Every structure is written in C-alpha cells, then in structure tokens.
Amino acid sequence: MTYKLGLTGSIGMGKSTTAKIFAENGCAVWDADAAVHRLYSQGGAAVAPIGHAFPSAIVDDAVSRDRLKSLIADYPDALNKIESIVHPLVAEDRAIYLSETEADITVLDIPLLFETGADALMDATVCVTVPPETQKARVMERGTMTEEQFQAILSKQLPDAEKRARADYVIVTDTLEHARAQVQDVLKDIQGRRTNA
C-alpha cells in the first residue's frame, strides 16, 4: 500500500510548489484544491448541489469561483455551507485516488489537513511555512484576492504555529534550493524508517 504523506500549510505558504518538488523526486501527488477545481467544472459533482444552495454561483453549467468569492464577501457564513457540500466530495475523490495509485509514496496536498481531521488517515504529515509578511506578500502578488478575501480564508485556517507544532516535518519555503534540500531530507527519513520497520 502507498505511504500517505499529508502536506499542508496556510494559504500561500508554498504547498503546490513543494508538492511539485516531491513529484520531481518520484512521489505521486493528489491535490485537494485541484479536486475542487474538477468538482466545480462542467459535469463536476459539486455543480448541482452548489447551484441548489446558491443559484447565482452557477455560470455556464459550472461553479464560478468569482461568484462564490463575492457571495462569501457579502455573507461570510456562505463558506461554511460551501464546505459542507464540497468536503465530502473531496474526501471521496481522495479515497478513489488512493485506492488506485501504485506509487511507493503519495503526497496529499491538503490545505485543511488538520482542520478536517484528514491527518488521522496519513502515515506522516508535513507543514510548509514562511514568516507571515512573506506569506501575505506572496498571496497579494498573485492578484487573485482582495485583502478582505485573504483575511477571510486565513481566519478559517488553523494558525501556522499550531500546524507546525502538529506536523511530523516542517519545510521552510524561503528559497527553492532550501525547499528541495528539505524535501530530500524528509524522503530519506521516511525511506530509512520504512526499511527499518
């Protein structure tokens, strides 16, 4: 059975970039945000239930993220309702992926790893981190969110310090070289433990 390595970190901390480095080192990667993109697209399983709860969120038979973001800005509680629809569908997508993968190690990029209790299903966990000023600058640089939207998402996430305390491994994503070296250290450690087990 594949070794399940849960990868988390707050918004903009470097999960996707670090997941890519794990993939370059031979790991399979399942990405929760990418699963949400599939679920929201035409024919995706979230389109009907989101449309039922928020008819204005549907554009061209798909869930519009821009419409969702303005709904959340107007009604902050909308995010809880969206989560209650989306999270079970994401968990189903993950279970199917895990049952089919033949990789030795699978990295599961899950922003809400600890918040949703998915950490209990993992063999080990990794938290990516940078100082809060760097985090905010990186998110704002993308230009996809207002400061209010950033704060709304941040307030839904476990604080960075708590994630770091709970994770088995911490990777500082200040530079790519540093992140690559730490990914290799994590993989060496896991492989060592598996051969000694």
Ligand X SMILES: CC(C)(COP(=O)(O)OP(=O)(O)OC[C@H]1O[C@@H](n2cnc3c(N)ncnc32)[C@H](O)[C@@H]1O)[C@@H](O)C(=O)NCCC(=O)NCCS
Ligand Y SMILES: Nc1ncnc2c1ncn2[C@@H]1O[C@H](COP(=O)(O)OP(=O)(O)OP(=O)(O)O)[C@@H](O)[C@H]1O
- Cα–Cα distances in Å, from 164 out to 62, 104, 108, 110? 36, 25, 17, 14
97-156 residues near ligand Y, rule: CB under 6 A = 111, 138
Of 102 and 141, which CB lies nearer to ligand Y in the complex structure?
141
Asked if residue 183 binds ligand X (CB under 6 A), the reply is no
Measure the N-to-C terminal CA separation of the chain; round to a whole number of Å: 14
Distance CA 74, CA 68 (A): 10
Stretch that binds ligand X, among 78-86, 128-136, 176-184, 185-193 (CB under 6 A): 78-86
Q: What is the DSSP string of 64-113?
A: -HHHHHHHHHH-TTHHHHHHHHHHHHHHHHHHHHHHH---SEEEEE-TTT
> Which residue number, 108 or 153, has a Cβ lying nearer to ligand X?
153
Shortest distance, position 58 Cβ to ligand X, whole Å: 13
Q: Residue 49 or 109: which CB sits closer to ligand Y? A: 109
Asked if residue 188 binds ligand X (CB under 6 A), the reply is: no
Report the site for ligand Y in 61-90 (rule: CB under 6 A): none
Q: Which residues bind ligand Y (CB under 6 A)?
A: 9, 11-17, 33, 111, 138, 173, 175-176, 179
